[in-house]
Chains A and B, each alone.
Chain A
Amino acid sequence: MNPITPIINGLKITLSHLFKKPVTLQYPTERPKVAQRFRGLHALNVSHNKAKCVACYLCPTVCPAKCITVEAGEDANHDKYAARYEIDMLRCIFCGYCVEACPVDAIRMTGEFELANYRRQDFVYSKERLLEKK
């Protein structure tokens, strides 16, 4: 067994890597490219100036992490709507089942991935905060 050749081969490899373009992303200044189908923060879709959600409870039912809380209400036209719609981001596993389950296409997932916060209660996204992301 010749012990020198592998060492020289290794040195060659590291030297060749020295001249490659680094893959580092200078994060806060350089932004990553978020893929089209990336599953980030949820957003409630809007149609005719109000949320499309009809409070059918399919999303909290299908949610494996049980992070969605929905309370149904009735509006002036006697239509069912979500009076309260909360997602606890500390529990959410971003599986996207809620989006798949939704029969009226009321919820989608955005490319938003910076979900850090200072307080626990800030991780519970209310209906208003979810609507903000159009």
Chain B
Amino acid sequence: MGIEILGLPMMYYIAMVAKVLVAFVFVLLTVAYATYAERKIIGHMQVRLGPMRTGWHGLLQPIADGVKLFFKEEIIPSQASTFAFLIAPLIALIPAFITFAVIPFGGVIEVGGYKIPLQIASYFDMNAGRVFDVNVGVLYILAMSSLGVYGIVLAGWASNSKYSLMGGLRASAQMISYELSAGLAIVSVFMLSGTLSLNEIVNQQSGFGWYAFKQPLAAVMFFICSLAEINRTPFDLPEAETELVSGFCTEYSSMKYAMFFMAEYANMVTVCALTATLFLGGWNGPLATAIPLLGPVYFVAKVYFLMFFCMWIRATLPRYRYDQLMHLGWKVLLPLALVNIVVTGVVGYFIN
């Protein structure tokens, strides 16, 4: 069938590029408008209006912010380690975006007789008649999200500023302690699903067999740990304006600062997408298998709901103290995650 490159049809490459572009542009736009949504939602929750002046009800605010940051002066502290200082925002930004490669955002659609699974790192094998994707998808995501901390630590260290260093240190300690509980929370999902492939995990949740119902504790714990991992309120200690000026990005300006900002919001999108995939049935929903284009709609709706929840939490809860954060991570969430695994194992053993 047509031209083949490396044993794969031309259509595969076209579909791949299209999927990458669509997902990337979607994430970028979501990141841009998440900042707007956050300001609007938190504004209204505080009985204010939020941005109103740039465009109709402030709709052009993200663009104005972007243009402003783009044209601002680049300031590099004279005592900073220049190379590390410059590379740190990239290290923070790239893992935030590439995690999207394995998240399935829809079912299999058919274009011109060629079946395309709506997940970037996957393809539909005509001979085997099923979708092949990265079979360690969740591990890949965990690995990439832990890379993100390097950017923050490096930024904190390279700035040669006390506040930045404190922010970086806090970020590393926090991310390491919460990564554990997040990982253990997902383990209980693996025990039920028996696979690490995100595509498979989504397929198993069809028809409202969501893992959030089977593993409610794991779902809540994973979401809390993810909030802590991406440094969102109430766990935004690495930034902590009140104590650390702006934490690890104190010395950053212009586009490099914007990159940290984008990384933060892209991480939020990823985490919400992952939570939706693992616990809320991914793109599954009523009629999603019958009408394939409904899949992405459900997926986006779930992701946006979770993002709204993040903003809602931010408007509600004050920041944790450092010792409270560590207490919650190591003394509450970690034991709970372990107990959850044991209970899942025991119950699973008796049911089967």
Task: List residues of A whose CB falls within 8 A of some B CB.
Answer: 7, 10-11, 13-15, 17-18, 20-24, 26
Residue among A7, A14, A20 with max Cβ neighbours from chain B (10 Å): A14
Q: CB < 8 Å: which of B41, B43, B317 contacts A22?
A: B43
A-B contact count (CB 8 A): 37
Total B residues in contact with A, Cβ cutoff 8 Å: 14
Chain B residues whose CB sits within 8 angstroms of the CB of A26 once the complex forms: 49, 52
Question: Are A11 and B47 touching (Cβ within 8 A)?
Answer: no
Whole-angstrom distance between the Cβ of A87 and the nearest chain B Cβ = 35
Task: List residues of B whose CB falls within 8 A of some A CB.
Answer: 41, 43-49, 52, 312-313, 315-317
Chain A residues whose CB sits within 8 angstroms of the CB of B43 once the complex forms: 22
A11-B46 CB under 8 A given contacts A18-B41, A26-B52: no
Interface of A is mostly: helix
Question: Are B312 and A22 touching (Cβ within 8 A)?
Answer: no
Whole-angstrom distance between the Cβ of A91 and the nearest chain B Cβ = 34
CA distance A11 to B234 in the complex (A): 13
Question: Are B45 and A11 touching (Cβ within 8 A)?
Answer: no
Residue among B43, B44, B49 with max Cβ neighbours from chain A (10 Å): B44
A17-B317 CB under 8 A given contacts A11-B312, A22-B49, A26-B52: no
Question: Are A14 and B48 touching (Cβ within 8 A)?
Answer: no
A23-B317 CB under 8 A given contacts A11-B312, A15-B312: no
Whole-angstrom distance between the Cβ of A68 and the nearest chain B Cβ = 40
Question: Are B49 and A24 touching (Cβ within 8 A)?
Answer: yes
Q: CB < 8 Å: which of A10, A18, A24 contacts B317?
A: A10
Q: CB < 8 Å: which of A10, A21, A22, A23 contacts B316?
A: A10
